Amino acid sequence: MAIPAIDPAPQPAPSADAVSGGGRIVGLSASAAARVRTLAAQEGNPGLMLRLSVSGGGCSGFQYHYDFDAARQADDHVFERDGARLVVDDTSLDLLAGAEVDFVEDLMGSYFKINNPNASSSCGCGSSFAI
């Protein structure tokens, strides 16, 4: 008697943002997600998203910008963890693909930190980087 083949466990489909972003993904650490939720609640709008963008400038060539936004633009990609949402525009996503946003609390203070595998170097404070 032949043993029937067992299908492997179904794999979750990639999120719509990962597909529309060409597989480009930016992650949020658990501590960053918790901080985004806390800050959004303090603003009185738990639906606020952390907007991360990149522009030219800074001491290393490119610099990170953070803001809160309630609206999603046509070229935005939204990434979510534990109810917190991170929004990145398509142009910035080219420079941030594979990065993770973390929230750090240490003797220097508390701040969002980007772990960006695309950056060849960054400044001492971590707010700008080079490719």
Spatial distance between the Cα atoms of 85 and 90, rounded to a whole number of angstroms: 16
Question: pLDDT class for 77, splitting at 50, 70, 90?
Answer: very high
The pLDDT of residue 22 is 54
Q: What is the pTM of this model?
A: 0.76
Domain spanning 23-130, CATH architecture: Sandwich (2.60)
The pLDDT of residue 48 is 95
Question: End-to-end distance of the chain based on CA atoms, in angstroms?
Answer: 60
Domain assignments of the chain as residue spans, ordered by start: 23-130
Question: The dihedral of CA 124, 54, 86, 26: what is its sign?
Answer: negative
